[in-house]
Amino acid sequence: MRLVQRLRGERVEEAAARDRSKSVCVTSFPTKPPRDVSTIKLLHRRASSAISTASDLISRRGVFSRRYYGSVEQLQQTEVDGQEQGRRFRIENGDSPGEKDEMFGSPSTPVLENPEYQTRWYFKYFLGKLHQNYVGIDADKIPFFLSVVVNENSNQCVPLYRAILFRKTGAHKISLPYTQNKVLSVKQILSNFPNMDKIEKGPKEIFSPDIQKDLLLLEEQEGSVNFKFGVIYMKQGQTTDDEILSNETGSERFDEFLQLLGEKIRLRGWDNYRGGLDVKGDMTGKYSVYTVYEGHEIMFHVSTLLPYSRDNRQQVERKRHIGNDIVNVVFVDGDDPDAISNQDTHSLFNPTCIKSQFTHVFAVVSVDSHNRYRLSICAEEAVPLFGPSLPCPPVFDNPQLFRDFLLVKLINGEKATFETPTFARKRERTLDMLIKDLYAEHMTDARMTMLNRRAFSDVLAETPRHSRVKEDARQIEFVRIGQALKLEAIVRGDAPTSLASAGSTGSVFKRSPWEANCFYPVFPASVILCADSWGDNRLVIGTEDGMYIVEEGNLHRLLFDKSIQARQINIVESHGILLIRAGPSCKEGKIYVFRLSQIEAMTEPKSRFDVKEHRLERSRGTHLYAISRPDKADQLHRFVGGSRLRMCVAVGRRLMMFQWKHSAAWTAWCPTNDTDTVDGFNFIWEIMLTENPAILTVLDGGWSPNSPSHGDVLVCVGYKNHWDIVNGRTGFSKHLHTVEVGKPNLVTALDLYEDQEVQLLLCYNHTCHFQKVDDSLPSTEFDFHWNSVPTNIVCAFPYIIAFTTNSMEIRLIVNGNLVHTMTMPKLQMVACKNDIFFATTAPEFFPNRTDRLLLDVKQHEQPKYSPPLSPNSSPDARPLRIYRIPLHALTKNSNSDHLDLGKESPNVWKSADVKLTVPDQPRVSRSATSSPVPPKGKISAIK
């Protein structure tokens, strides 16, 4: 109880709420007697530093980490007793294998991870609004708090439940679809959280308005909205922190760098975020550097602006702030700036020379005589991977682009540090004590009643007539207190309410990588069953009314009438064929094979009576099939003569494998000879499974060079609640993963390849689980969770995108961190083979919205508007609009990621959450081992 009261009291004063500089400064590491390690073992450990170890798994997330986020190295540190004591750091300097092998470098768009304006749910969606709060204990007798609200997005009118579960491990957030006629109980909502479906006693509702203050306090334990970073001036040849921090002033180049970072402010009388600096008596210097980036206030602790003492070699006053910053920027300077900015000299900085147990990330910066900045990152091994990854080479010609990249890297680095075991344990202990104190307080609150077993028919359930006046008064007071708390947090500067940035970067327009283009403006209001992309500008879409071909710039055309109900569509352009699984239901289907040339020549729609000769034998009763991905397999099989198209077909419990008679290389060499349809598939093998499969994924890379046969093809099979790996040629079957939840909902199994390794992304309910297939390789299993249960998942390195019926959630595949969420009605993923296509209700047809959207144009031009409402704008028929997210936009380098507003830019259609632009660059491969190929005109600018 005293901990809660103390934290509540500290929140009144701005300094106590945000000052993280009051922890004890550690000027040296505690040393232990070194182990007697031989020189051979020491050299062997250094040589194998990049290989995954038990501790390395903390910082490695997925198969792509070592390619784009540096290797782990042990850096020497000489102690007073002369013995060597090392710390392991992950060095990111543009020299990782992925960066050296690729012409254009790795994807490195500067995007904030876990942005507070999207992750602080309680502040954004709950506080100041009617919602319900509960307290209870789980099956392990550990207390928890639950908050539930029904939100209706005012722009898209998509009602949904939002729920937050506060536990000692943190705040877990989910959203669930809201149906007017289907009421969810508290236990039903709790069952959607991991390990919360077996609670014995239902939670009790808390009616006191003061609970909002306590839950806001719990959410604020995730971390501060504002940041403080150290900036250290280092001269060439300095090797100790005493020497580095004894630099009384900086150079002209260092002053220019500080001007780039932010504004030089006078500390006395400063009334914004102060980052632990004294603003009354100049005890921490007269000036500092301050800026705002996307709503985050940032105070820099500049070593040359902090108090300097000629009599104190250790510069304790400077170390007190620099040593307690989680992230430090080190500016390396010398007489020859061109020599300093090269990579070899850049590596002379040893992060172990800064003796602090608190600093985990160092950003080493230098600038050459041409005002080009070079950046490298040193992060402690325990710090999880964080983006953006450095380009290759890590040199920035544009100072403003470098500033954006650096600030995003620093913010993401501090957030990642809070996930290290040291900080995670401290946060868990704090949350555990807070929740226990709040549990004891609210469980004994005499104001609690027995009205806690009602369902969520609305935000607050109906009350009896005789107490309705009293209940209305309570609701008004509840909302009033919540709004007052929200206003207090905003005034205090601890609220994620703004995306504004300070400095000269206001003239730079930052385009989001997931910005969508309008591909087809009005598609008939029909249920899309399946689809696939064809070339650059065509889609083949299966609906309940038949199959259509949709081409950009032309009207959609019917290919097959409603007698052919397509359930799956695949276009294999490398072989020139179209595969269709069609049938009256999902369990009664047949597979048809067409040549793409035949589809192009069609002038009239065909029915099922016209396509009998295209039906594949043995496919009657097919309820599911999957094909191999030639684009991935080619990268894995180059040394064995190319890949083959394989198709795995499930008919009940019977699993069959077919293979196309020609390889993709042969078809490319002799395209006129590959004219087969159903005769092109050869039957390979057949096995019987224990139950009907629900998911199939063909793993062409599931074998290694030591496998018994290069012809072995592994298949990942998903059942009701588990996945297996099956090899039909050998009859081998291996259990992969079991879903241990009450009502499992398997979504997909994505195969991710790199360097002849295959790793599976198994998705079910709100969870994504990474698991390697080859047992001989070090395991990198880890989970991350979606806020909503996805219907489709797309991987476009470095992002992974989840589609639900009303939202699109974008995360980083390397660590599962959220980067963006968009809400749209009737959302559906259409195709993702190359570019990502999705459909939603057109913006001008959003329910209760009849305004036309303003088109962004130059200020000197007349404003333009979106097209007027079409005849389909009746309430019963709202057409779909198909959008495209270009793959090159998701994977391109940050150097081409900004536009100067003074230059002419493409027209942008703006809706509430989606921007629609005209594509202006070619597509690229989605493969993680391939990088974007820039237009020829930009290659010279990148070098």
3-state secondary structure 627-671: ECCHHHHHHHCHHHCCCEEEEEEEECCEEEEEEEEEEHHHHHHCH
CA distance 75 to 737: 38
Which residues, 6 or more positions from 409, have their beta carbon under 8 angstroms from its beta carbon? Answer: 110, 363, 375, 377, 386, 387, 388
Please report, for residues 19, 125, 281, 803, the alpha-carbon distance to residue 16 in angstroms, rounded to integers and kept in the order given.
Answer: 6, 26, 18, 41
What pLDDT shows up at residue 844? Answer: 58
Q: How far apart are CA 9 and CA 17, in angstroms?
A: 10
Beta-sheet strands, E only, within 824-914? 828-831, 836-841, 854-856, 864-865, 880-885, 898-900, 908-910
Q: Which two tokens stand for residue 600?
A: 């192009």
Check if the beta carbon of residue 197 is closer than 8 Å to that of residue 190.
yes
Distance CA 437, CA 430 (A): 11
Residue 800: Cβ-neighbour burial (10 angstroms; 0-12, 13-18, 19+): buried
First to last CA, the chain: 60
CA atoms of 568 and 547, how far apart (whole Å): 11
Residue type, 678: V
Strands (E), 360-478: 361-367, 373-380, 395-396
Given phi > 0 = left and psi -120 to 50 = alpha, else beta, which region is 693? beta
User: Considering the entire predicted model, what is its pTM?
Assistant: 0.80
Tell me which residue of 74, 69, 100 sits closest to 85, measured CA to CA.
74
**Which of 376, 405, 365, 408 lies closest to 250 in space, CA to CA?**
365
Cβ neighbours of 434 (radius 10 Å): 20
What is the three-class DSSP state of 194? coil
Distance (Å, whole) CA 761 – CA 793:
10
**Digit-coded pLDDT (tens) for 250-276:** 889 999 999 999 999 999 999 889 998
Q: Return the SS3 of 356.
A: coil
Report the phi/psi class of residue 546: left, alpha or beta, with left for phi > 0 and alpha for psi in -120 to 50. left
Helix H or strand E segment including 810: strand 807-812
| Three-class DSSP category at 871 | coil
CB 267 within 8 Å of CB 287: yes
pLDDT in tens, 366-421: 988 888 999 999 999 889 989 888 888 888 999 999 999 999 999 999 999 999 98
Quick one: 324 exposed, middle or buried, by C-beta within 10 A (0-12, 13-18, 19+)?
A: buried
Supply 184's token pair.
């969810």
- Residue type for position 580: I
- CB-based contacts of 181: which residues, under 8 Å, 6+ apart? none
The parts of the chain modelled with pLDDT lower than 50 are: 10-64, 66, 78-84, 99-107, 154-155, 446-463, 505-508, 633-642, 702-708, 710, 846-876, 893-943
User: Measured between alpha carbons, how far is 772 from 663 in angstroms, rounded to an integer?
Assistant: 27
Alpha-carbon span 300 to 498, nearest angstrom: 20
pLDDT at position 781: 62
Give me the DSSP letters along 685-697. Answer: EEEE-SS--SEEE
Whole-number pLDDT of residue 122:
92
Distance between CA 118 and CA 309 in Å, rounded? 44
Q: In whole angstroms, give the CA distance from residue 752 to residue 757.
A: 8
CA atoms in the 13 A half-sphere facing the CB of 355: 19
Residues 492, 222: contact at Cβ < 8 Å?
no
Q: Residue holding tokens 């790199």?
A: 754
877's torsion region: left (phi>0), alpha (psi -120 to 50) or beta? beta
